[in-house]
């Protein structure tokens, strides 16, 4: 299933588990209870003989799960030198600060310029509105006070980290065999998706979701500008995509280009 490379990384061949998808790319599914149900998200690790890059970081409190998931695909966590954040949402930046604080090696955080002030804690996260914070007080009596207070604290003081590298749509990052940033605004204003050239994999972030095994457009409940998010799908057409990884729902690989064309014209 895998072989040791000179760099000491384990390279996996395509695996039916749908988790380890190709040379130098693997999904890192991690789960957390969110509003009473288990929610699984799919950060991704990319690597080559020089570096390993983590794409998104999970909900707050999932640091050890994230590290365990990395170890399980054969990437030691201290090989991570870069963290790419597709956008500012809490389930994507959740362990960013904890990762930086616990890392023995310097980490370069990268995001789109429009997301940077939010990730750096200069501005309140766009989805943590006054209304969202006020709604905590309307939770049922059965929700413990300590939980409410914790949630409020998190919304007012989410994890943060300096963004050292600003990434623009169309930019090709020479990391892990080549990674192209694609502007996909809508879910948030500076949302980016990534195309990994060696494995022909689209990391869609939250621009698309996989729901019941099917690739779908953006989630209306969490997308700030749905019209813009739908328009962004057309940008995927110029890449020869064989597989899509959605942060919510994981891997999709059935007639990908055809499905993307359907979604882009819908």
Q: Compare residues 23 and 232 and give the one whose CB is closer to Zn ion.
A: 232
Cβ 29 to Zn ion shortest distance, Å: 14
CB-based contacts of 181, cutoff 8 Å, min separation 6: 112, 167, 168, 169, 170, 171, 172, 173, 192, 193, 194
Q: Compare residues 91 and 115 and give the one whose CB is closer to Zn ion.
A: 91
Applying CB under 5 A, which residues contact Zn ion?
89, 91, 206
Q: Which has the closest alpha carbon to 192: 159, 175, 170?
A: 170
Cβ 193 to Zn ion shortest distance, Å: 13
d(CA 243, CA 252): 6
Q: Compare residues 188 and 199 and give the one whose CB is closer to Zn ion.
A: 188
Instruction: Compute CA distances 164 → 21, 37, 45, 106, whole Å.
Output: 29, 35, 19, 11
Cβ 148 to Zn ion shortest distance, Å: 23
Instruction: Compute CA distances 235 → 184, 194, 257, whole Å.
Output: 8, 11, 12
Query: What DSSP character marks residue 62?
Result: -
Cβ 171 to Zn ion shortest distance, Å: 22
Antiparallel, parallel or unpaired: β 108-111 and 80-84: parallel
Cβ 39 to Zn ion shortest distance, Å: 9
Q: Compare residues 48 and 91 and give the one whose CB is closer to Zn ion.
A: 91
Q: Which has the closest alpha carbon to 91: 66, 116, 72?
A: 66
Q: Compare residues 41 and 48 and give the one whose CB is closer to Zn ion.
A: 41
């Amino acid at each position: 299933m895998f072989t040791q490379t000179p760099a000491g990384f384990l390279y996996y061949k395509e695996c039916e588990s749908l988790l380890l998808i190709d040379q130098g790319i693997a999904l890192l599914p991690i789960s957390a209870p969110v509003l009473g149900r288990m929610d699984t998200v799919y950060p991704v690790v990319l690597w080559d003989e020089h570096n390993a890059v983590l794409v998104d970081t999970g909900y707050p409190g999932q640091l050890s799960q994230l590290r365990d998931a990395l170890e399980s695909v054969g990437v030691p966590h201290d090989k991570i030198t870069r963290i790419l954040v597709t956008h500012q949402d809490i389930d994507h930046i959740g362990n960013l600060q904890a990762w930086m604080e616990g890392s023995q090696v310097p980490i370069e955080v990268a995001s789109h310029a429009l997301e940077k002030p939010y990730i750096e804690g200069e501005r309140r996260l766009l989805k943590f509105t006054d209304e969202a914070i006020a709604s905590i007080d309307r939770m049922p009596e059965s929700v413990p006070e300590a939980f409410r207070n914790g949630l409020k604290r998190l919304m007012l003081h989410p994890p943060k980290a300096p963004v050292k590298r600003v990434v623009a749509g169309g930019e090709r990052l020479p990391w892990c065999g080549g990674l192209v940033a694609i502007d996909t605004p809508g879910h948030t204003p500076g949302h980016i998706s990534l195309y990994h050239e060696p494995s022909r994999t689209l990391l869609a972030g939250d621009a698309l979701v996989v729901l019941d095994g099917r690739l779908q457009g953006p989630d209306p409940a969490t997308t700030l500008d749905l019209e813009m998010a739908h328009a962004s799908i057309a940008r995927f057409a110029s890449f020869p995509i064989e597989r899509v990884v959605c942060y919510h729902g994981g891997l999709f690989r059935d007639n990908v280009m055809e499905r993307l064309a359907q979604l882009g014209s819908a």
